Structure 1
Amino acid sequence: MEITATVGLSNKADLSLAYTPGVAEVCEAIAADPALTRHYTWVPNTVAIVTDGTAVLGLGDIGPAAAMPVMEGKAVLFKQFGGVDGIPICLATTDVEEIIETVVRLAPSFGGINLEDISAPRCFEIEDRLKERLDIPVFHDDQHGTAVVTLAALTNALTLTHGRPESTRVVISGAGAAGVAIAKILLEAGVQDVVVTDRKGVVSSDRHDLTPSKKALAELTADRSGRSGTLADAFAGADVYVGVSGGTVPEEVVATMADDAIIFAMANPNPEVHPDVAHRHARVVATGRSDFPNQINNVLAFPGIFRGAFDVHASAITEGMKVAAAQALAELVGDDLTEEMVIPSPFDPRVGPAVAAAVAAAARRDGVARA
Structure 2
Amino acid sequence: MRTTTAGFSVTATLRIANVPGTFLRIVQEIAKRDGSLSEVHLVYGDFNYLIREVTVNCRSEEHSREIIGGLRELEGIELVEWQDDTFAIHEGGKLEIVSRIEIDTTDDLSRAYTPGVARVCSAIEQDKSKAYSYTIKGNTVAVVTDGSAVLGLGDIGPEAALPVMEGKSILFKQFAGIDSFPICLATQDTEEIIQVIKAIAPGLGGINLEDISAPRCFEIENRLRAELDIPVFHDDQHGTAIVVLAGLLNALKIIQKPLESLKVVVNGFGAGGVACTRMLYAAGIRNIIPCDSAGAVYRGRTERMNSVKEAVIEATNP
TM-score (norm 2): 0.69
Name the residue aligned to 2:311: 216
Of 42, 60, 74 in structure 1, the residue corresponding to residue 168 of structure 2 is 74
Q: What is the one-letter code of the residue matched to 1:146?
A: T
Match of 2:55 in 1: none
Q: How much is the aligned-residue C-alpha RMSD, in angstroms?
A: 0.8
State the AA in 2 paired with 1:43: K
Distance 2:237 2:145 in 1: 14
Which residue of the partner structure matches residue 167 of structure 1?
261
3-state SS of 1:4 partner: coil
Show the counterpart of 1:98: 192
SS of alignment partner, residue 250 of structure 2: helix
> Contact 1:50–1:113 (CA<8 Å) still a contact in 2?
yes
User: Unpaired segments of 5 or more residues in structure 2?
Assistant: 1-94
- Any idea what SS the aligned residue of 1:60 has? coil
The Cα of 1:122 is off from its aligned counterpart by 0.5
Structure 1 residue identity aligned to 2:207? I
Question: What SS does the corresponding residue of 1:220 show, helix, strand or coil?
Answer: coil
Aligned ranges for residues 43-54 of structure 1 at < 5 Å? 43-54=137-148
Whole-angstrom CA distance in 1 between matches of 2:313 and 2:278: 11
What residue identity is the alignment partner of 1:147?
A
- Which residue matches 1:109? 203
The answer as to whether partners of 1:203 and 1:217 remain within 8 angstroms in 2 is: no
Q: Which amino acid aligns with 1:166?
A: E
User: Does structure 2 retain, via aligned residues, the 8 Å contact 1:46–1:112?
Assistant: yes
Q: How does 1:326-365 map to 2 (within 5 A)?
A: none
SS at match of 2:299: coil
- What SS is found at the alignment partner of 2:151? coil
Higher Rg of the two aligned structures: 2
2:214 and 2:111 mapped to 1: Cα distance? 47
**Whole-angstrom CA distance in 2 between matches of 1:208 and 1:14:** 66
Whether 1:202 aligns to 2:296 is yes
Q: Cα deviation per residue 1:249-308 (whole Å; 9 max; x = unaligned)? A: xxxxxxxxxxxxxxxxxxxxxxxxxxxxxxxxxxxxxxxxxxxxxxxxxxxxxxxxxxxx
SS in 1 for 2:162: helix
Match of 1:302 in 2: none
Shift of 1:208: 2.1
| Cα displacement string for residues 297-326 of structure 1 (whole angstroms, at most 9, x for unaligned residues) | xxxxxxxxxxxxxxxxxxxxxxxxxxxxxx
Give how far 1:56 is off. Answer: 0.8
Deviations 1:74-128 (A, max 9, x none): 0000000000001100000000000000000010010000000000110001000
* Alpha-carbon distance in structure 2 between the residues aligned to 1:207 and 1:184: 19
SS at structure 1 position matched to 2:302 = coil
In structure 2, how many angstroms separate the alpha carbons of the residues matched to 1:211 and 1:29? 48
**Corresponding residue pairs, total:** 223
Q: Would you say 1:120 and 2:191 are equivalent positions?
A: no
Q: Which amino acid is 1:99 matched to?
A: I
Partner residue, 1:138: 232
Q: C-alpha separation between the residues in 2 aligned to 1:85 and 1:133?
A: 23
Q: Which ranges in structure 1 are unaligned for 5 or more consecutive residues?
A: 226-371
Query: Which contiguous aligned blocks of 4+ residues in structure 1 show a shift greater than 4 angstroms?
Result: none
Aligned partner of 2:309: which letter?
A: K
TM-score scaled by structure 1? 0.59
2:126 corresponds to which of 11, 29, 32: 32
CA distance in 2, matches of 1:33, 1:43: 14
Who is 1:321 aligned against?
A: none
Task: Tell me the distance in 2 between the aligned counterparts of 1:81 and 1:170.
Answer: 31
Deviations 1:60-83 (A, max 9, x none): 000000000000000000000000
Higher RCO by CA contacts (8 Å cutoff, separation 6 or greater) = 1
Superposition map of 1:47-66 within 5 A? 47-66=141-160
CA distance in 2, matches of 1:192, 1:211: 21
**Partner residue of 2:242?**
148
